[in-house]
Amino acid sequence: MSTNTQLFERAQRVIPGGVNSPVRAFRAVGGTPRFIQRAQGAYMWDAEGTRYIDYIGSWGPMILGHGHPDVLEAVQKAAVDGFSFGAPTEREVELAEAILAHVPSAEQVRLVSSGTEAGMSAIRLARGVTGRSKLIKFEGCYHGHADALLVKAGSGLATFGHPTSAGVPPEVVQHTLVLEYNNIEQIEQAFATQGDEIACVMIEPIAGNMNFVRASVPFVKRIRELCDQHGALFVFDEVMSGFRVALGSAQSLYAQAIPGFRPDISVFGKVIGGGMPLAAFASTRAIMSKLAPLGPVYQAGTLSGNPVATACGLTTLRLIGQPGFFDALGERTRSLMSGLDGAAQAAGIDFCTDSQGGMFGFFFAPELPQHYQAVMARGTDTFNRFFHLMLDQGVYLAPAMYEAGFVSAAHTEQDIADTVAAAANAFRQL
């Protein structure tokens, strides 16, 4: 049996950094990545047979936990019929209908294979619809690794401290305006000076790539007003929050607080694929009619609407749509946060938490940060020590301070209690 260290050494010889997505490398926290051999329910086992309570959930998709029997059955049946056809299937239509049933802001949806693909397609669509070039994004929001969006992004770029990515020419990002999250004055100034050039404003309504930071209701409301006044489109990137924080996604929460609120374009991923490579972008029929083959905005993908992935996603959406699912998931997540808060307070540690549905975040700080610079102002040393103390006790948190965490329906009260007990022990050692 190979150890994690042996596997990492092998991996580094044939894969850059030994990983196929940067944050997996443990570069932010130090140490050796765990090479996962299998997962079931709320648990993962590494190559050495060590079991972990999993709070990554494949970075969000595993809302039901790993290996849910209904999902497995659906995937196995679909695989028998064929892996990929390069032609339409009925299940694509069913998944599109299932997504739209919970997203009142949209009338049509286009399936793709990754959140990055969905995000860049949404930007292209917004530019094609408006005939404008400029886009606004916010510091700490990560919308995938498309060139125009790798400017002061969160996630792995926050982890490694790079404001942008090498290999992105300056002329590619010259139309990208980067503003401070939750700063109303800045967004007003941007529209006052360049409003007739702005194609869209793109935002993570609950940013999960600078840990867990909510867009304030006044901030979202003001963006909606400014977009309406200046003819720009408002794009909600719900790759992470979509169908994870609520059945209607984060936009349903803002709609409760802002009468009539709707984004113009929505981007989804993670949960709608149930762990398979699948994402989507959605909008009104008028906007989506600009896409090929109906309109001039080109977008295509060989594996889009993959029959195995759609089977996984469709079954996942059916199960999370059952009455009471999100009430129970939210309660379980709040229980974890309350337990961590109490354990930190007992140890005299500055600590704060937030959560929505099955998504959560915590900071070693006296109060919740509201933007990227406030997140970055917190040192990583305390988190890194805490991460390893938890990992050593069998609790797998995201290996970077800038990532949100996820609770699944498979996490039990005992799992939560064990996690809180491990945290109490870790807090005493910080």
The one catalytic residue in 52, 142, 181, 396 is 142
- Residue 152, pLDDT score: 60
Kindly state whether residues 314 and 354 are assigned to the same domain.
no
pLDDT digits (tens, 9 = 90+) for 87-120: 999 999 999 999 999 999 999 999 999 999 999 9
What is the CATH number for 372?
3.90.1150.10
17-28 tens-digit pLDDT: 999 999 999 999
Q: Are residues 20 and 85 in the same domain?
A: no
Catalytic residue among 43, 54, 55, 237: 237
Q: Which residues pair with 274 in a beta bridge?
A: 276
**Are residue 139 and residue 287 in the same domain, yes or no?**
yes
Q: Are residues 417 and 306 in the same domain?
A: no
The candidate with the shortest Cα–Cα distance to 398, out of 51, 45, 52, is 52
Indicate the pTM of the whole model. Answer: 0.95
In the listed set 320, 352, 377, which residue is the last one of a domain according to the structure?
320
3-state secondary structure of 176: strand
Instruction: Specify the DSSP element, H or E, that contains 186.
Output: helix 184-194
Of 320, 349, 366, which one is at a domain's C-terminal end? 320
Q: 78 and 61 in one domain?
A: no
- Let me know if 152 is a catalytic residue: no
* Residue of 134, 137, 270, 396 marked catalytic: 270
- Shared domain check, 173 and 151: yes
Q: Is the separation of the CB atoms in 54 and 43 below 8 Å?
A: yes
306 shares a domain with 277: yes
Q: Give residue 119's domain range.
A: 69-320
Model confidence at 274, in pLDDT bands (50, 70, 90)?
very high
Residues 348 and 261 in one domain: no
315 and 331 assigned to the same domain: no
- pLDDT, one tens digit per residue, over 177-222 is 889 999 999 999 999 999 999 999 999 999 999 999 999 999 999 9
**Kind and range of the H or E run holding 111:** strand 108-112
What total number of domains does the chain contain?
2
Is 270 in the active site? yes
Residue (of 368, 357, 263, 274) closest to 313 by Cα position = 274
Q: Which residue among 320, 354, 371 closes a domain?
A: 320
Q: State whether 92 and 186 are in the same domain.
A: yes
Clarify whether 134 is annotated catalytic.
no
Write out pLDDT tens, residues 121-158: 999 999 999 999 999 999 989 998 887 787 765 444 44
Q: Measured between alpha carbons, how far is residue 199 from residues 1, 96, 137, 277 in Å?
A: 54, 26, 11, 28
Indicate the length of the chain as a whole number: 430
CATH number of the domain at 112, please: 3.40.640.10
Same domain for 62 and 9? yes
Helix/strand/coil percent split, the chain, to 5? 45, 15, 40
